[in-house]
């Protein structure tokens, strides 16, 4: 490893002894982030003006019709999308052999996609996924617009199986508010590169609303200020998501299912990717990014993820993120048998008959865990103990694992149904599919019907007896990177009961973690002091007596 | 009463600048350890590191001086008159008994001092210095095959060394008053001239 240390005290030594300084020369980067930033802040010029394409000079009856037009030129695009997680919602984790992806995982928000595709596929890059009969090989079912719209007017509506509304509709139903029909012609002629806004249409609203799920991804990142995210700063570097999540043939780098927790291979040079994930801090900044006068900080990078210091808090934009969700109280109705919504003092929903109790928070200090990039999920059919808190996902790693770093996480806590007899998590049918969908919990508030209908689509047996179990789910915090001046100060960890107090297996100077040695050391020092004071006292006394 | 020239100019400069640096390093060091707060952790680390490099620089000169002047021989241990010194500190000092050791320029330290300083030189200093260097060059441990060394071992050694230094410091400051008069040793360390019987 190349050392970049320099101390001015060393100058004295060097001056005195004329030692060679070659090994200690400060390495200064020639490209500062500021000069790189101005380049990327410019709008990328395109060689194609889609408003002039004759294929798009027509009207479109629906989304698939637009896709067919796209595919006339972009002949391979749909095939590429078909092989992505954005399309399959499936991912086989080679490290754990667990089958993951949105289709297979359980969470402690709305708990499961299974049986709820009509609703959930509003965030699928496709059209028409309403149940297991969906044809994943059909090219025109790919939704190009959800990622490539530049107008901000394209919106897939939950309940329409991944389609936007082609007619004027009342939204939400019976609200008296109306949404105009989607202008596919205008949208199709204004496609372009993906942006924070297009990625954000799903990723900012995960869990059922703005900021709900991740904590480090919400609508405040559409046009963030510098304090919120130093890279995405709209007036500065103005990174799009794709700047880090570099994509190739529609494969977007950097997945939460198999994150790169520790990247020790230095800066990622063009042509030398060797299959590395470009969506890491280190792929641009390397493992010793701090300048010579802060060289001690580079001593931390073997144990501490960049995010731990550089994302001091999450949910630092306007919206609060959801912190807890208790499904066990859902279904309570008012005296007229109608749905209840109780607001908290901030005007946010604290109780909803459809969903139960929530709490929210802003400027949240993360929790910290050892993490090596492997996550073990509790999946359909996995045994759980109803008397104990269930980890829906468990971040693997530890102090003795060289691939582990200390990471900041949002831990989302809740209560959700489980099958008392089979001791498995139980998922349920939430959203009304229309056509007298009696089983949907949001229609009838009947847990048994909803659970039966939900579990029937998973292939896991359900006993008919449910209760609620406490669950925890962790989310890595990696966005909302603060400017360096706002990074954690040393003392936020290096003190008694500092931020990393619950992280096992580290020695933390300043945390008062050598009580025995301290008692012994200060004890002997004190005895020595008392001893010399007594000795001195006798000397003074005997001198006076003689004198 | 006689005055002899014991401590040369460089030696006095070395002693007092080292004293200041060590006091400052104890102050910043125990703050870094978490015992109290004065400068704040980050500044304490920065000051501690700078003082360490200054002390290293000073030591390079001091080692050079000791070897070129032959003054290193002042630290060769001897058991001769150790018992007399002990007896003097336990009883004689209270009854104005004559000091059992007579300083000369060739033997400026009494036998207990020789042992104490040798203990500092051979045990406390190496403990603090080696562990301190390891702390400073944490990122480069792998280059010398120490990548599996637990940081807490280094930390324990450094803290233990610091406590020994603190205890030495207390005893040393007190015994500085135990010369021919209460201030004769201290005057000698300032002016170079010691009063002897």
DSSP chain B: -EEEE-S-HHHHHHHHHHHHHHHHHHHHHHHHHTS--SS-HHHHHHHHHHHHHHHHHHHHHHHHHHHHHTGGGGG----TTHHHHHHHHHTGGGTTPPPS----SS--S-HHHHHHHHHIIIIIHHHHHHHHHHHHTGGGGGGGT-TT--HHHHHHHHHHHHHHHHHHHHHHHHHTT-SSSTTHHHHHHHHSEEEE-
Distance, in Å, from the CA atom of A395 to the CA atom of A403, rounded to the nearest integer, reads 13
Subunit contact A9:B41, Cβ cutoff 8 A: no
pLDDT of A479 reads: 98
pLDDT of A547 reads: 63
Distance, in Å, from the CA atom of A257 to the CA atom of A377, rounded to the nearest integer, reads 10
Which residues in chain A have Cβ-Cβ distances shorter than 8 Å to B140? 1, 3
**Pick among B139, B145, B179 to test the A interface (most A CBs inside 10 A):** B139
pLDDT of A374 reads: 96
Which residues in chain A have Cβ-Cβ distances shorter than 8 Å to B33? 509-510, 512, 514, 518
pLDDT of A273 reads: 66
Distance, in Å, from the CA atom of A475 to the CA atom of A393, rounded to the nearest integer, reads 9
- Which sequence spans correspond to the domains of chain A? 514-547
Bond before B66 cis per omega within 30 degrees: no
Residues of chain A whose pLDDT is less than 70? Answer: 1-44, 273, 547
- Tell me if ipTM is over 0.90: yes
Which residues in chain B have Cβ-Cβ distances shorter than 8 Å to A546? 96
Specify the pairing of strand A356-361 against strand A393-395. unpaired
Identify whether the C-beta of residue A397 lies closer than 8 Å to the C-beta of residue A261.
yes
Query: pLDDT tens digits, residue range B146-169?
Result: 988 999 999 999 999 999 999 999
pLDDT of A6 reads: 43
Provide the shortest C-alpha distance from residue A263 to chain B (in Å).
16
pLDDT of B181 reads: 83
Among A8, A528, A539, the residue with its CB nearest the CB of B171 is A528
Which residues in chain B have Cβ-Cβ distances shorter than 8 Å to A510? 32-34, 41
Q: Is B53 on the interface with A (CB under 8 A)?
A: yes
Specify the pairing of strand A424-425 against strand A405-419. antiparallel
H runs (alpha helix) in A180-334: 184-188, 196-203, 241-244, 282-285, 295-298, 306-310
H/E element, A424:
strand A424-425
Query: pLDDT tens digits, residue range B97-152?
Result: 888 888 888 888 888 999 999 999 999 999 999 999 999 999 899 899 998 899 99
- Tokens encoding A273: 């990717």
pLDDT of A14 reads: 41
Which residues in chain A have Cβ-Cβ distances shorter than 8 Å to B53? 7-10, 12-13
Query: pLDDT tens digits, residue range B11-25?
Result: 999 999 999 999 999
Domain B2-196 class in CATH:
mainly alpha
Q: What angle do CA A193, A306, A311 make, to 5 degrees?
A: 75
Q: Is B162 on the interface with A (CB under 8 A)?
A: yes
pLDDT of B3 reads: 87
**Pick among A12, A495, A545 to test the B interface (most B CBs inside 10 A):** A12
Q: Is A496 on the interface with B (CB under 8 A)?
A: yes
pLDDT of A44 reads: 59
């Amino acid at each position: 490893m190349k050392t970049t240390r320099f101390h001015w005290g060393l100058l004295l030594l060097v001056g005195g002894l004329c030692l060679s300084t070659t090994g200690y020369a400060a390495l200064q980067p020639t490209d500062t982030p500021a000069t790189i930033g101005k380049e990327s802040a410019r709008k990328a010029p395109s060689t194609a003006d889609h408003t002039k394409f004759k294929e798009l000079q027509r009207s479109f009856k629906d989304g698939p019709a637009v896709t067919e037009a796209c595919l006339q030129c972009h002949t391979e695009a749909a095939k590429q999308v078909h092989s992505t997680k954005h399309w399959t919602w499936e991912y086989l984790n080679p490290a754990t052999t667990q089958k993951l992806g949105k289709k297979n995982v359980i969470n402690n928000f709305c708990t499961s996609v299974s049986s709820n595709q009509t609703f959930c596929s509003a965030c699928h890059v496709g059209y028409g996924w309403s149940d297991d009969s969906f044809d994943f090989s059909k090219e025109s079912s790919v939704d190009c617009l959800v990622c490539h719209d530049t107008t901000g007017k394209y919106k897939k509506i939950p309940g329409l199986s991944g389609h936007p509304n082609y007619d004027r509709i009342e939204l939400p139903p019976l609200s008296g508010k109306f949404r105009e029909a989607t202008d596919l012609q205008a949208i199709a002629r204004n496609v372009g590169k993906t942006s924070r806004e297009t990625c954000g249409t799903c990723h900012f609203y995960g869990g059922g609303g703005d900021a709900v799920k991740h904590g480090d991804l919400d609508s405040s990142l559409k046009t963030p200020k510098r304090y919120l995210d130093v890279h995405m700063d709209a007036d500065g570097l103005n990174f799009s998501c794709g700047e880090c999540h570099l994509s190739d043939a529609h494969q977007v780098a950097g997945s939460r299912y198999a994150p790169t927790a520790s990247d020790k291979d230095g800066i990622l040079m063009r042509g030398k990717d060797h299959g590395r994930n470009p969506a890491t801090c280190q792929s641009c900044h390397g493992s010793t990014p701090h300048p010579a006068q802060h060289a001690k900080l580079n001593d931390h990078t073997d144990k501490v993820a960049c995010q731990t210091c550089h994302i001091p808090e999450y949910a630092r934009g306007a919206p609060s993120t959801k912190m807890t969700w208790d499904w066990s109280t859902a279904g309570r109705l008012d005296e007229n048998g109608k749905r209840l919504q109780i607001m908290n003092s901030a005007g946010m929903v604290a109780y909803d008959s459809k969903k139960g109790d929530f709490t929210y928070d802003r400027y949240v200090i993360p929790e910290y865990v050892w993490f090596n990039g492997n996550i073990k999920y509790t999946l359909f059919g996995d045994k759980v103990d109803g008397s104990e808190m269930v980890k829906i996902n468990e971040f693997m790693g530890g102090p003795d694992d060289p691939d582990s770093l200390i990471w900041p996480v949002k831990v989302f806590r809740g209560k959700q149904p489980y099958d008392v007899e089979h001791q498995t998590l139980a998922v349920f049918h939430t959203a009304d599919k229309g056509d007298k969908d009696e089983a949907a919990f949001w229609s009838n508030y009947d847990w048994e019907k909803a659970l039966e209908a939900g579990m029937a689509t998973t292939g896991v047996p359900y006993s008919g007896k449910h209760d609620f179990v406490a669950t925890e789910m962790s989310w890595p915090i990696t966005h909302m990177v603060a400017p360096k001046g706002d990074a954690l100060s040393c003392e936020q960890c290096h003190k008694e009961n500092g931020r990393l107090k619950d992280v096992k297996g580290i020695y933390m100077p300043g945390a008062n973690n050598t009580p025995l040695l301290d008692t012994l050391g200060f004890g002997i020092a004190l005895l020595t002091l008392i001893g010399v004071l007594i000795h001195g006292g006798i000397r003074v006394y005997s001198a006076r007596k003689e004198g | 009463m006689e005055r002899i020239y014991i401590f040369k100019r460089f030696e006095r400069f070395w002693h007092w600048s080292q004293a200041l640096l060590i006091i400052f390093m104890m102050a910043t060091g125990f703050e870094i350890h978490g015992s109290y707060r004065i400068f704040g952790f980050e500044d304490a680390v920065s000051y501690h590191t700078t003082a360490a490099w200054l002390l290293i620089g000073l030591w390079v000169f001091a080692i050079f001086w000791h070897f070129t002047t032959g003054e290193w021989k002042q630290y060769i241990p001897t058991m001769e008159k150790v018992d007399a010194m002990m007896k003097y500190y336990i009883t004689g000092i209270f009854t104005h008994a004559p000091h059992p050791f007579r300083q000369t320029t060739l033997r400026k330290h009494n036998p207990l001092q020789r042992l104490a300083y040798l203990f500092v030189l051979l045990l406390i200093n190496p403990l603090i210095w080696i562990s301190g260097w390891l702390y400073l060059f944490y990122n480069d441990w792998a280059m010398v095959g120490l990548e599996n060394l637990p940081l807490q071992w280094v930390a324990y050694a450094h803290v233990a060394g610091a406590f020994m230094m603190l205890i030495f410091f207390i005893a040393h400051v007190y015994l500085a008053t135990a010369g021919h008069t209460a201030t004769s040793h201290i005057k000698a360390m300032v002016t170079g001239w010691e009063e002897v019987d």
